[in-house]
Chains A and B, each alone.
Chain A
Amino acid sequence: MNPVIEVASLRKNFKDRNGASRAVLRDLDLTVGAGEFLCILGPSGCGKSTLLNVLAGLDKVYEGQASVSGGRVGYLFQEPRLLPWLTAEGNLDFALTSCKVPASRWSELKSRYLAMTGLSDYRDYYPHQISGGMAQRLALVRALCVEPGVLLMDEPFSGLDEITARRIRSDLLTIWEETRKTIVFVTHNAYEACFLADRILVMSGGAFRQEMRVPIARPRSYDDPAIFQLSRDVIKAFGDEIGRDTVPSAIPASEPGLVDDLDRHAAARMNI
């Protein structure tokens, strides 16, 4: 596998309110191969979004190297971030125009990805007229239809209810198996990471703590006991360390009902 993303000794500091410098990213090294599905798992405030912003080119102030090859970068945010004054199709056209995708390819790309996400009948709807889950699907379509080589996803399903999130996760895997884009997916949900990823990197305090491969065969089923077992191991192995995270988290991580079929205690730990 050719590396598509290469990061070496990546460091970034923020100045906090008292003027003291605080390390957000500490000497990160990362290689992601073409077509790989990587999950970065960590609590809020561990620096995972900052890392994605650097990879996406939104954040240009850092030390060390970070390069992304293999084509354009697609980005799926935690919220849909659709332009509310444009219809679903208008939002796609905005992305296609901005990325200078030749107009001759537009209708094929739009139809293809709208069909994959079940949104074909919603082209003329405004964002406020569709549900949160559909809006996030549309954002996924927008990210895909500019044909990125690399797709960066920042907790894209954490704001959705669990049933909707599950459905979209399964759709995402189907799409990924068809298109084999390189995906870097950031999450704080261990179960989600085990279901989706080829490889999981556990991050806390601005550094990668552990790496593990997910040996579960594809296509995967959401109810596979092996995924549950693995997610429990992930939490057992790294949960304590993450619990002792020295960096104060900016936003307390509390998302109810992420893992709905476990007892509450396990669910609380699962959702790091």
Chain B
Amino acid sequence: MLKVLSMVAAVIVWGLVSLTLPPEIFPGPIETARTLWGEIAKGDLWTDLAMTMLRVVAGLLLALILGVPVGVLMGLNRRAEAVLDVWVMIGLTVPSLCYAIMAFMWFGLNEGAAIIAIAITAAPSITINIWEGVKNVDTRLVAMARVFEATRPAIVRRVLMPQIFPYVMASARFGLGIIWKITVLVELIGRPNGVGFKLFYWYQLADMKQVLAWTLLFTIIMLLIELCILKPIERRVFAWRPQVAV
């Protein structure tokens, strides 16, 4: 309820501020919504949106494939931790734009390069989450399972995985936040379609209405995914957790 109220308030403030500025510089919510509706009615918006979504999903999957094993390894093995620690930090520090440029220069202006750039950018932060999660595994529960004669695979599946899974979920969510942003950037410099391409296109035409309309579209889609897909999954998977009153 508070969430809805705060969003309504934000739209009102947006509207009020836009009244003080000319519409070419800062269009109001109604105008932006009308522009967005016009784009939707034209129909080719869906192609751009689908391409962006495809890159986001593929990038996230690849980032998880790269990031999770490295994180697990770092959590389990001290030597691996010592060696990889600095590389994860470097991976985090290098600006995503550098990865994007390098990927396009090495692999060409194609879809594969875009997805690689996206995944490489997000992988280090996923690794950090998983690394932390594996280090926090409660070994007392493992000792308990051993007393009850649980086999090694059973311990991994029934005692370790459930402890690590929340961190995988958290890192996927966190990774997604990063991936949205880098995807738009990658599309801007190296793809002929997608939300980022469109934003850049309208930027070059200095059409603020369109820029805001596409930003709005992107934000709405992102919120929908968060509220309609990720939250319910989380609620179902972590039903056993105590509710924390904040």
Contacts and interface: CB of A to CB of B under 8 A. Distances in A.
A79 B149 CA distance: 19
A72 B162 contact: no
Given A83-B162, A126-B240, A128-B242, A98 B148 contact: yes
B147 A58 contact: yes
A98 B145 contact: yes
A83 B147 contact: no
Binding site secondary structure of chain A? loop
Nearest to A146: B148
Interface stretch (B4-12, B102-110, B117-125, B136-144): B136-144
Interface in A86-100: 86-87, 94-95, 97-100
Contacts of B241: 84, 128
Given A98-B154, A126-B240, A128-B242, A83 B148 contact: no
Contacts of A128: 240-242
Contact of A56 (B145, B147, B159, B240): B147
A75 interface: yes
A94 B148 contact: yes
A84 B240 CA distance: 7
- The size class of the interface chain B forms with chain A is 10 to 19
B158 A94 contact: yes
A81 B140 contact: yes
A20 B146 CA distance: 30
A65 to B, nearest CB: 21
B150 interface: yes
B149 A81 contact: no
A77 interface: yes
Given A83-B159, A84-B240, A126-B240, A98 B150 contact: yes
Binding site secondary structure of chain B? helix
A203 interface: no
A58 B240 contact: no
Interface string A70-81: 001111010101
Interface in A113-172: 126, 128-129, 142, 146
B103 to A, nearest CB: 39
Given A86-B240, A128-B242, A98 B162 contact: no
A57 to B, nearest CB: 8
Contact of A99 (B141, B149, B162, B240): B149
B240 A95 contact: no
B234 to A, nearest CB: 14
Interface in B133-188: 140-141, 143-151, 154, 158-159, 162
Contact of A58 (B146, B158, B159, B242): B146
Interface string A29-66: 00000000000000000000000000011100000000
Contact of A77 (B144, B150, B151, B162): B144
B240 A72 contact: no
Given A81-B141, A85-B240, A126-B240, A73 B158 contact: no
A85 B162 contact: yes
A74 B147 CA distance: 7
Query: Which of A75, A77, A98 has its CB near the most chain B CB atoms (within 10 A)?
Result: A98
Query: Which of A57, A84, A100 has its CB near the most chain B CB atoms (within 10 A)?
Result: A84
A106 to B, nearest CB: 14
A213 to B, nearest CB: 29
A165 to B, nearest CB: 20
B20 to A, nearest CB: 52
A165 B149 CA distance: 28
A99 B148 contact: yes
13 contacts: A56-B147, A75-B147, A77-B144, A83-B162, A84-B241, A85-B240, A86-B240, A97-B154, A98-B145, A99-B148, A99-B149, A100-B149, A129-B242
| A-B residue pairs, 4 tightest by C-beta | A98-B150, A81-B144, A75-B147, A98-B148
